Structure 1
């Protein structure tokens, strides 16, 4: 197991472009860190710098407190799990797992190799598949074989480079669960690269969001979701994305395309001195006004709007409201879409409605929005003016405590001898 420290890492290519620009991250022993961001944000480059496949232009990389910038990949004792698993099709599962042990010639006896492979197979629930070939395994089983090679090497950390990107949606969901359970069972430090924010939110203890080589925010998934530091993080994390409404700031309310929204004084104070802000509201913070509990009705604002259309998904439905932004706001949304590697951010509001709602497109509807959940963003800097840093840190601290407890339980289970 290992801690990994990234200290002001920079990767600059010959043309002067910084693919990774001054990134600092402390990864604790046993932590599962996700590097996420759109294509070209530097996440894969950063992973390759950690494993030693990319040179570091400047900054320091430490493994267990030791600087390893100049060490070759084989000297860092890190195991890379690739997108295609890199299994040898002509070898059995046993021989695929044993391969790195056989590479270290004369270091391990046949008896030791068999013992180490058998232990890894038992840990990964591969005991019944040791004589099979990779072609006869499921995607999840192949991933476990790749992990098995890392385990027998006694690697200090696992590095995953978009391992699920070629799988269909159903198999990706199954594999997310398998990888998460394996990581907890083994308690091994893991760094996982993905462009899929769903993977990031479901797998990571903490998630590092990158944009154009610059670290935007690193926090627990819940902190990123509830207390994003800027427009980019708010828009990139969450599906459907956060809604951004242009809003004129009034003494006691926001004037928006869907009407005047009254806000608490502390939120309005955060926007003091600005004539226009972007109000960020997640789709689930809207509801059909007819279905809002009386107890929370006073914490929000009801308004009338016409949905262009709705989508019924069984357990819930989405409604869509279009609005016409100013040219400046339209340009801002277009720029934000480019940053997020999205085709566009349409000038529309997406609302999540209960499956029981009878609201449909093409006619006026009474909706309700929870005004406690509104974030205000500076349209020029992108900063979240209403972020509660203390509340966000508490969410990440809570996730950290849960991580330590899970790893301790996993290690305790490993110490218990197997019966029979």
Structure 2
């Protein structure tokens, strides 16, 4: 395994446009890092810079402390798993997995090749398919073959470039689970690029959110969700996404298109002096007021609204509220749409309701909002005024500790089954040390130590 350090990396093309702009990240030994963001944000370019397929314009790339800017890809000992599998159709699964070992002529005996291939196949449940050709495999099986080829290389790190985007939704869910379990068993440093936030939130130890070549925030998935650093991160992470409601602040009262919302004094103080703010409301912050117990009502505020329609999903339902923003704040929504890389932002609030709620579209209803959890954003800079940095860092520390325990448990169970780990030789203590680091969040381009 290896640590990977990105020091102020910059990638400029011929026209001088920075596709990657001053990004610094410390990736710990054995850590699983996700690079996520909309199309064109620079995440794939950054991955290609790490593996050596893109030149670095400025900054330093270190692998285990050694500067590798000028090293060829083959000399960096990194294994890449591509979106299109990159399998050889005329070779069997066995020979596809063995291919990188065959390239290193004379380095591995036939017995060693067989041992590495069979161990990797067992890890990925491909043992029964070793003599088949790629054309006879499912998409998920082909992706596992591509991962098997990475495993046998005994690389210092795995780099994944949107490996599941060609699969259907059900298979993506299955493969997410398999990649996560494989990474825990092997404990190998991994960098994974995706535009799918579900993959980002379920796979990574930490997630780096990129926008237009700049790092916005890097933290555990839970910290990103509960303590986003700015409007972009708050709106990008979460499904359905966070609602943004323009408001003016009058003491502890938010004057909004939905009516007056009373908020805790501590939150109001953080936005003091701001003429207009954007209120960040996750759909799950709402509930049918009729279903909220009396002792819980004091933690929020009740307001009246008419829903345009509801969607019943079985375990829950979504309700939709249209609002008419004042002319002076409509421009804020247009700016916010550009911030979120969207064509437009509908003046609409999405709320999550209990499946038992009888609220229906077209009727006036009482809704309860948990005001303890809402966020207030600066309308001009996009900064989260109510972010609690220490609480966010604690969420990431807890996630790291839990992940380290999961890795140790997975490797112990793997050892008891005697399936092997592809000959990687990564022991549990090394993984515990790597995954148990402490980290918080940083604004764009800030150095972020993995400890």
The bucket for the TM-score relative to the shorter chain is over 0.9
Alignment of 1:234-253 (within 5 A): 234-253=234-253
Alignment of 1:293-304 (within 5 A): 293-304=293-304
Report the Cα distance in structure 2 between the residues aligned to 1:273 and 1:341, rounded to whole angstroms. 29
Residue 19 of structure 1 aligns with which residue? Answer: 19
Residue 152 of structure 2 aligns with which residue? Answer: 152
Deviates more, 1:113-122 or 1:337-346: 337-346
Tell me the TM-score normalized by structure 2: 0.90
Assess if the C-alpha contact under 8 Å between 2:315 and 2:355 holds in 1: yes
Aligned residues: 419
Report the Cα distance in structure 2 between the residues aligned to 1:343 and 1:170, rounded to whole angstroms. 29
Deviates more, 1:283-292 or 1:255-264: 255-264
Shift, 1:140, TM fit: 2.1
Assess if the C-alpha contact under 8 Å between 1:248 and 1:275 holds in 2: yes
Residue 34 of structure 2 aligns with which residue? Answer: 34
Residue 89 of structure 2 aligns with which residue? Answer: 89
Deviates more, 1:209-218 or 1:140-149: 140-149
Assess if the C-alpha contact under 8 Å between 2:184 and 2:411 holds in 1: no
SS across alignment from 1:372? coil
Shift, 1:340, TM fit: 3.0
Q: Deviations over 1:212-255 (max 9, x none)?
A: 10100000000000000000000000011111111111112111
Deviates more, 1:172-181 or 1:5-14: 172-181
Assess if the C-alpha contact under 8 Å between 2:140 and 2:167 holds in 1: no
SS across alignment from 1:371? coil
SS across alignment from 2:372? helix
Residue 3 of structure 2 aligns with which residue? Answer: 3
SS across alignment from 2:94? helix
Shift, 1:328, TM fit: 4.8
Residue 400 of structure 2 aligns with which residue? Answer: 400
SS across alignment from 1:61? strand
SS across alignment from 1:373? coil
Report the Cα distance in structure 2 between the residues aligned to 1:181 and 1:282, rounded to whole angstroms. 30
Residue 212 of structure 1 aligns with which residue? Answer: 212
Report the Cα distance in structure 2 between the residues aligned to 1:90 and 1:330, rounded to whole angstroms. 59
Report the Cα distance in structure 2 between the residues aligned to 1:80 and 1:339, rounded to whole angstroms. 32
Alignment of 1:184-263 (within 5 A): 184-263=184-263
Report the Cα distance in structure 2 between the residues aligned to 1:184 and 1:292, rounded to whole angstroms. 40
Alignment of 1:8-407 (within 5 A): 8-407=8-407
Shift, 1:303, TM fit: 0.7
Report the Cα distance in structure 2 between the residues aligned to 1:417 and 1:165, rounded to whole angstroms. 32
Change in 2 beyond 3 A, CA 1:417/1:168: closer
Shift, 1:343, TM fit: 3.9
Aligned-residue Cα RMSD (Å) equals: 1.4
Shift, 1:14, TM fit: 1.2
SS across alignment from 2:99? helix
Report the Cα distance in structure 1 between the residues aligned to 2:27 and 2:327, rounded to whole angstroms. 43
Tell me the TM-score normalized by structure 1: 0.97
Deviates more, 1:343-352 or 1:91-100: 343-352
Report the Cα distance in structure 2 between the residues aligned to 1:417 and 1:251, rounded to whole angstroms. 62
Report the Cα distance in structure 2 between the residues aligned to 1:383 and 1:220, rounded to whole angstroms. 19
Report the Cα distance in structure 2 between the residues aligned to 1:418 and 1:366, rounded to whole angstroms. 58
Report the Cα distance in structure 1 between the residues aligned to 2:261 and 2:29, rounded to whole angstroms. 46
Q: Deviations over 1:41-74 (max 9, x none)?
A: 1101000000000011111111111111110000
Report the Cα distance in structure 1 between the residues aligned to 2:343 and 2:168, rounded to whole angstroms. 22
Deviates more, 1:134-143 or 1:302-311: 134-143
Change in 2 beyond 3 A, CA 1:328/1:196: farther
Report the Cα distance in structure 1 between the residues aligned to 2:179 and 2:342, rounded to whole angstroms. 27
Assess if the C-alpha contact under 8 Å between 2:306 and 2:361 holds in 1: yes
Stretches of 4+ aligned residues off by more than 4 angstroms: 413-417
Shift, 1:196, TM fit: 1.1
- Structure 1: give runs of 5+ residues left out of the alignment: none
